[in-house]
């Protein structure tokens, strides 16, 4: 005679079904073990075993000998990477162009097949490739909705559901901003008269870099509004009104804009520090807070190899400390004019 189902057992079954139907489990994912079910719901191991067995009999779960209980369905097999980069990466002297070049070399060295798509906002996701994403928030959101793994470079996914499937590799922006302040403080022997130029108000990278700087030095904040050269150029007049001792820009393109404005007007530039060590920083001989490129990209490669091998463990975030690159703290004429570097216009607008 079958055992009578109690209200408690019926409630456990319902809650397990809720987990399976809420969209968070993908085909091939490991499900709760009998012991997990027993401990989480306060029932005996035998009762947990019976509930799981019923769900297996109904085809909602499947047991794999000596492995565990899984959600039915074939695990998506990934054959390589899909590089999804903002189209800005095609621009000369840009952060994205350097990132793409270095990453491509690393992937080739590891013999990881990669397909590249440069897009403005959204691109179709390949069903058999791991997305590696730069500066495309809509693509990251699409990966989260579809429950597919992805690797985000130089940023972090939004907290909450989006972060469940998205691995990320980035730098410690707050610490980098503090480093910039320490460089200006120690090398100029000043304590006031500084200006910090911030980027997009809704971007946590800009905010953290600014907060890090202000944690060390007081400064007047000028908001450029985005990461682009043009905005640095437009903000330069306001910046120079107060920057007697030094300037910090939250990325190199904004610093290039300030330097370009000063060059066009033959204005003396106080000591200035950027952030990213994008290619334009070398051209401008600009002191900047450089990203740890090798360490970050090695982190991307390690993560990609794990996911391509079928690893379904929880998503991770790797953060690396930036490395200051000390060049000149004074104004110098660039080797290549920033306005002509891309064929007549300002350098590529890039995010840091």
The 3-state secondary structure of the chain reads CCCCCCHHHHHHHHHHHHHHHCCCCCCCCECCCHHHHHHHHCCCHHHHHHHHHHHHHCCCCEEECCCEEECCCCCCCCCEEEEEEEHHHHCCCCHHHHHHHHHHHHHHHCCCCEEEEEECCCCCCCCCEEEEEECCHHHHHHHHHHCCCEEEECCCCCCCHHHHCEEEEEECHHHHHHHHHHHHHHHHCCCCCEEEEECCCCCHHHHHHHHHHHCCCCCEEEECCCCCHHHHHHHHHHHHHHCCCEEEECCHHHHHHHHHHHHHCCCCCCCEEEEECCHHHHHHCEEEEECCHHHHHHHHHHHHHHHHCCCCCCCCEEEECCEEECCECCCCCCCCCCCCCCCCCCCCCCCC
The values of phi and psi at residue 320, to 5°, are: -120, 150
Distance between CA atoms of residues 112 and 160, nearest Å: 30
Sheet holding 272-276, edge to edge: 220-223, 194-198, 246-249, 272-276, 287-290, 323-325
| 77/286: higher pLDDT | 286
| CB 134 within 8 Å of CB 123 | no
Torsion angle (degrees, nearest 10) of CA 28, 34, 36, 38: 150
Q: Give CA angle at 47 (13, 74), nearest 5°.
A: 55
The angle, 0 to 180 degrees and rounded to 10, between the axes of the packed helices 34-41 and 45-57 is: 120
Which residue is it, tokens 């390690």?
Answer: 302
pLDDT of residue 342: 37
- Tell me the pLDDT band of 285, cut-offs 50, 70 and 90: very high
Q: Is the pLDDT of residue 344 over 60?
A: no
Nearest to 300, CA basis, from 189, 171, 83, 152? 152
Torsion angle (degrees, nearest 10) of CA 7, 8, 14, 18: 150
pLDDT digits (tens, 9 = 90+) for 10-62: 888 888 888 777 666 777 777 888 888 888 888 888 888 888 888 888 888 88
Q: Which of 21-35, 67-81, 282-296, 324-338 bottoms out in mean pLDDT, i.e. has the lowest?
A: 324-338
Nearest to 171, CA basis, from 286, 300, 292? 292
| CB 211 within 8 Å of CB 250 | no
Do strands 246-249 and 272-276 pair parallel, antiparallel, or not at all (unpaired)? parallel
Which residue is it, tokens 């064929």?
Answer: 343
pLDDT of residue 335: 39
Q: Which domains are seen in the chain, by residue range?
A: 7-70 (1.10.10.10), 80-171+293-322 (3.40.50.2300), 173-286 (3.40.50.2300)
pLDDT digits (tens, 9 = 90+) for 178-196: 999 999 999 887 778 999 9
Percent of the chain residues topping a pLDDT of 70: 89
Cβ neighbours for 263, distance < 8 A, ≥ 6 positions apart: 331, 333, 334
pLDDT of residue 73: 67
N- to C-terminal Cα separation, the chain: 68
What is the mean pLDDT of the segment spanning 269-278? 94
Do strands 62-64 and 68-70 pair parallel, antiparallel, or not at all (unpaired)? antiparallel
Distance between CA atoms of residues 246 and 196, nearest Å: 9
The pair of structure tokens assigned to 146 is 């579809």
């Amino acid at each position: 005679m079958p055992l009578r189902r109690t209200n408690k057992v019926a409630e456990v079954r319902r809650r397990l079904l809720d987990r399976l139907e809420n969209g968070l489990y993908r085909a091939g994912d490991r499900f709760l073990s009998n012991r997990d079910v027993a401990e989480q719901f306060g029932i005996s191991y035998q009762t947990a075993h019976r509930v799981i067995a019923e769900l297996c009999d109904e085809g909602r779960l499947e047991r794999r000998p000596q492995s565990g209980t899984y959600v039915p369905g074939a695990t998506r097999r990934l054959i390589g990477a899909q590089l999804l980069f903002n189209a800005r990466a095609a621009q000369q002297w840009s952060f994205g162009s350097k990132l793409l070049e270095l990453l491509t070399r690393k992937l080739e060295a590891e013999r990881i097949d990669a397909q590249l798509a440069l897009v403005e906002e959204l691109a179709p996701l390949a069903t058999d490739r791991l997305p590696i994403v730069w500066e495309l928030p809509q693509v990251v959101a699409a990966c989260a909705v579809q429950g597919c793994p992805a690797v985000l470079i130089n940023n972090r996914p939004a907290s909450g559901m989006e972060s469940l499937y998205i691995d990320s590799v980035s730098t410690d922006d707050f610490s980098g901003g503090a480093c910039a302040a320490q460089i200006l403080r120690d090398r100029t022997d000043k304590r006031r008269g500084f200006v910090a130029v911030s980027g997009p108000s809704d971007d946590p990278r800009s905010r953290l870099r600014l907060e890090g700087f202000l944690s060390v030095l007081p400064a007047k904040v000028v908001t450029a509004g985005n990461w682009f050269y043009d905005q640095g150029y437009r903000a330069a007049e306001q910046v120079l009104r107060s920057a007697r001792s030094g300037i910090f820009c939250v990325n190199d393109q904004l610093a290039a804009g300030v330097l370009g404005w000063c060059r066009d007007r033959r204005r003396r530039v106080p000591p200035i520090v950027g952030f990213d060590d994008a290619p334009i920083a070398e051209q401008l001989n600009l002191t900047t807070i450089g990203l740890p490129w090798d360490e970050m990209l090695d982190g991307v490669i390690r993560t990609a190899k794990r996911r391509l091998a079928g690893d379904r463990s929880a998503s991770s975030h790797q953060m690396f400390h930036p490395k200051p690159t000390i060049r000149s703290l004074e104004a110098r004429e660039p080797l290549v004019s920033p306005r002509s570097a891309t064929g007549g216009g300002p350098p590529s607008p890039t995010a840091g």
